[in-house]
A and B are shown apart, each in its own frame.
Chain A
Amino acid sequence: EPEVTQTPSHQVTQMGQEVILRCVPISNHLYFYWYRQILGQKVEFLVSFYNNEISEKSEIFDDQFSVERPDGSNFTLKIRSTKLEDSAMYFCASSRDGSGANVLTFGAGSRLTVL
């Protein structure tokens, strides 16, 4: 079964450092998303991406965050200068279209720990 793959599974970084989280969505999916989940808490929307541009973003997705699809397969989330409160699990997801009839398929997540 096709899956969304994420790397790294766990990253530890110092406050103020840049971090890039990588995702390979399912190959025939067109819509891509990043969500984050602070330990044991709610799953929060960060950004949606379609046709090589951001469709929507949340208030959390400030100037420190950016997304990119550098090639035909990868979808990346960059945090320019990490803060302690960025520590969370970051999930990438993709869907085949934007109609909502197709579910979001999530990756296994990247755990980010900011020290």
Chain B
Amino acid sequence: ELKVEQNPLFLSMQEGKNYTIYCNYSTTSDRLYWYRQDPGKSLESLFVLLSNGAVKQEGRLMASLDTKARLSTLHITAAVHDLSATYFCAGLASGTYKYIFGTGTRLKVLA
């Protein structure tokens, strides 16, 4: 069964700094997704990565997928306070309709 793990679980960073969140998954996953969740809120889709080598960017966030390494990364450039949230990656196990979420990374950007 597909397992998805993220690290770090918690990340506290200064505004203006760069950092990367890592998402590893255990078996073949056709797709990889990144979501953002603000406290007490729902999950908001950030990126869909559909193939090996896919890279997507939106503002200060950039996501990439390496299916050979079973690794996706979410890179944060010049962090701002508004990026403080919990970030989840999720994989879709091949041949299923089951999206499996990682453990989440709680990001806090300090002013």
A residues with CB within 8 A of B? 31, 33, 35, 42-45, 48, 50, 55-56, 58, 91, 98, 100-109
The complex places the Cα of A98 from the Cα of B57 at a distance, in Å, of 24
Q: Which residues of B contact A43 (CB under 8 A)?
A: 43, 88, 90, 101, 104
- Judged by DSSP, the binding face of B is strand
Q: Does chain A have a CB within 8 A of B11?
A: no
B residues with CB within 8 A of A? 30-31, 33, 41-45, 48, 50, 88, 90, 92, 96-104
Please, which residue of chain A has its CB at the minimum distance from the CB of B47? A103
Task: Sample 7 A-B pairs with CB under 8 A, ordered by A number.
Answer: A42-B104, A56-B97, A91-B43, A101-B31, A101-B48, A104-B43, A107-B42
Please tell me if the beta carbons of B98 and A45 are within 8 angstroms of each other in the complex: yes
Q: Which residues of B contact A108 (CB under 8 A)?
A: 41-42
Q: Per a CB cutoff under 8 Å, which of A44, A56, A58, A104 touches B33? A: A104
- Judged by DSSP, the binding face of A is strand
Please tell me if the beta carbons of A42 and B101 are within 8 angstroms of each other in the complex: yes
CB-based closest 7 A-B pairs: A100-B31, A43-B101, A103-B45, A48-B97, A100-B92, A106-B43, A106-B42
For the A-B complex with A33-B99, A101-B31, A109-B42 known, give 10 more contacts whose Cβ atoms are closer than 8 Å.
A42-B103, A43-B43, A45-B101, A56-B98, A91-B42, A98-B97, A100-B50, A104-B90, A106-B44, A108-B41
Please tell me if the beta carbons of A55 and B97 are within 8 angstroms of each other in the complex: yes
Q: Report which residue of A31, A100, A105 has the largest number of chain B beta carbons within 10 angstroms of its beta carbon.
A: A100
Please tell me if the beta carbons of B43 and A48 are within 8 angstroms of each other in the complex: no
Instruction: Contacts A42-B103, A42-B104, A43-B88 given; indicate if A104 touches B45 (C-beta within 8 A).
Output: yes
The complex places the Cα of A39 from the Cα of B92 at a distance, in Å, of 24
